[in-house]
Every structure is written in structure tokens, then in C-alpha cells.
Structure 1
Amino acid sequence: MNSQQILPLRIAICVLALGAAIAQIFVIPRAASSYAEAYPEVAYLAAPYAAASIVAVVGIEVALLAGWQILSIAKREESFTSSVLGWANVMAASLVFTAAVLVGVFAHAFFVANIGGPAILFGLFSSTAFGAGAVVARRAVTREILFDSREQHPFVVP
């Protein structure tokens, strides 16, 4: 990866992190209070669902931090290091954590609170797929790191 590729990726990470912070501070609390007013029969769920959503966004922010660290390692042109794998693991774990929190919210809404419908069911399936995708992406990144390492140092086993 060259420096021409790293700069746009860092800009994207900054924009996503800013969007996540705005969502945590403004969007999620306002949406929760708005839905609590619109649906008073389930207003008691607004606070716990908002808190869970904010925690899920923290998982995304941790994944963005891990992505930033991986880009920093790539900028220094280090190939296979245990720190790259460590940050890839952090990224995957935080995305799986985010997916698990969202699956919990959607499962509770659908199966316990008996609210929702197709949108909640879609959220449940999407969150599950998101978690599985994080695990698959981690495997692909690990495979690519190992391949690059063997290509640069064919006689060194990482």
C-alpha cells in the first residue's frame, strides 16, 4: 500500500468517526425521545435501546481506531508484524461486539417485547450477517498479511 492510498483511507476514517460521534451525541438520543413520544406504549424501551445503540457505535469507533493503526503500520511499510494481526483482531472483535449488541436489541424487540415487524426482523438478520462478515473479513486480512509476508520473505515462516 502506498501513501497515495493511505491518505484517502484516513480521510474516510475521520469522516466515519465524526459521523459516529454525531450519531452518539445527537441522533440516537433525539430519535429515542421522538419514538418514545410517538409510541408511548413502548416508551420504557427508549432509554435501554438508546444506550445499547450508543454502545454499539463505540464498537464501530474502536474498529475505526484499529483501521487507523493498521494504516499507520502500512505507511511505515512494515509487512508482517504481530501488531498488524493484533489490530486486525481488535477490529474484528469490536465489529462482532457491535453486531452482538444489535442482535440483542433486535431479538429483544422482536421476541420479547413483541414490537416491530419486517423492519425489526430485517435488522436482526442484517446484524447477524454483519457479525459474520466481520469474521470473514478478518480471515481475508490475515490471509493477505501472511501472503504478503511470504512474498517478501519466502524463506521466513511468520
Structure 2
Amino acid sequence: MTNSAIALLRASLIAIFLGALLAQTLILPLLVAESVSIHPEVAYLATPYRWVVTAGIICLQVALACIWILLSKVQRQRIFENSSLRWVTTIICASAIATFLVLGLGFHLLSIVGAGGPGVFLMVAGTVAFGSAATWLLVVMRNLLASAIGLEAEMRAVI
């Protein structure tokens, strides 16, 4: 991977991380306040829902930090080490947790509270489908990395 590609990826990771931080600290509180003013009958859900969304954003931030670390390993040509698997596993866990948070929040909102409509259902279903697919893709990629690590170790033993 070229240094320019790594620099562009790092710039993208920084931009996404800062955008998530902005959403977490400024945008989310404004959206919650606006939602409470529009729908005061569900104001009691504002704080727990805000914490669930914040937890989902934290999952994204953890995954971005792990990608940064893996990118550093690629740059140093040390990606085929067992320690890389730990970072990929952390990304998988963050993705799975975020997906379950969306599923739980959507289930609670649609089934228990009885709020939202077809649009909310479609958004939750699409997000859960995408999150599940991404998580399973990461599991496959982790298994491929584990195989590559094993093959490289065998090649080093032969050489």
C-alpha cells in the first residue's frame, strides 16, 4: 500500500471520527431536544435513547481506532501477525454491538412504545441487515487473515 493511500485513509478516518464526535456532542443533544418538544408524550425515552445512540457512536469510534492501528501495521508491513487478529476481533465486536443496539432500539420503539411507522421499520430493518452483513463479512475477513498468518509462518519456517 502506498504512502499516499495510507495518508488518504488516515485523513478519512480522522474526518469520520471528528464527524462522529460532533454528532455525539452537539447534534444528538439538539435532535433529542427537538424531538422532546415535538413529542412530549415520549419525553421519558429521550435520555435512554440518547445513551443508546451514544453507545452506537462509541462503537464506530472504537472501530475507527482499530482500523488506524491495523493501517499502521500495514505501513510497517507487520499485518501478518497474531496481534492483528485482536484488532479485527474488536472491530467485529463493535459492529455486532452497534447492530444489536439498533435492533433493540427499533424493537423497543416499534413494538413496546408503539411509535414510529413503516419508515422507521424500514430504516431499522435496513440498518440491521447491513450491520449483520458487515459483521459476517468481517468474520470471513478475519478467518482469511488468520489463514494468511498461518501460511506466512509456514513459509518462514521453510525459508
Q: TM-score, normalised by structure 2?
A: 0.88
Change (3 A) 1:124 1:68: same
What is aligned with 1:109? 109
Asked if residue 72 in structure 1 is aligned to residue 66 in structure 2, the reply is no
Shift in Å, 1:40: 1.3
Q: CA deviation at 1:152?
A: 5.2
User: Aligned partners of 1:37, 1:108: CA distance in 2, in Å?
Assistant: 21
Cross-structure match for 2:23: 23
The within-5 A match list for 1:1-158 is 1-146=1-146, 148-149=148-149, 155=155
What secondary structure sits across from 1:115 in the alignment? coil
Do 1:92 and 1:138's aligned partners in 2 also have CA atoms closer than 8 Å?
Answer: yes
Q: Which amino acid aligns with 1:44?
A: Y
CA contact (8 A) 2:103 2:124 kept: yes
TM-superposed deviation, 1:118: 1.4
Q: Deviations over 1:83-124 (max 9, x none)?
A: 211101001101111111111111100000000001221232
- Length-normalised TM-score, structure 1: 0.89
Q: CA deviation at 1:154?
A: 5.6
Equivalent position amino acid for 2:86 in 1: G
Gaps of 5+ in 2: none
Q: For residue 113 of structure 1, what is the amino acid of its counterpart?
A: V
Percent identical: 25
Read off the aligned partner of 1:112 and give its amino acid letter. Answer: I
- Return structure 1 stretches of 4+ with deviation > 3 angstroms: 146-157
